[in-house]
Amino acid sequence: IILTLLVKIPASISNSIKSLTNSAEKMSMGDLEEEIHLNEIKEEFLSIAKILERMRISQKTMLKKLKNI
């Protein structure tokens, strides 16, 4: 049981970091369409994920407004 936990916990943390990194990378390249899937993020990283998702939505809204000027 302990060995299983030692393998699964770091893997789930690593997956959360990879997911957030991929989302931030896409946003930095201008891709604001893909939502950040908060249900796939470990609790420790949830606040960062929520901030990134809010930033994505804000940037997307701002771009729409600029296009309408």
pTM of the model: 0.69
Q: Count CB atoms within 10 A of the CB of residue 53.
A: 17
Q: Please, which pLDDT band fits residue 32 given cuts at 50, 70 and 90? A: very high
pLDDT at 66: 93
* Contact status, residue 27 vs residue 60, Cβ threshold 8 Å: no
43-62 mean pLDDT: 90
3-state DSSP call for residue 65?
A: helix
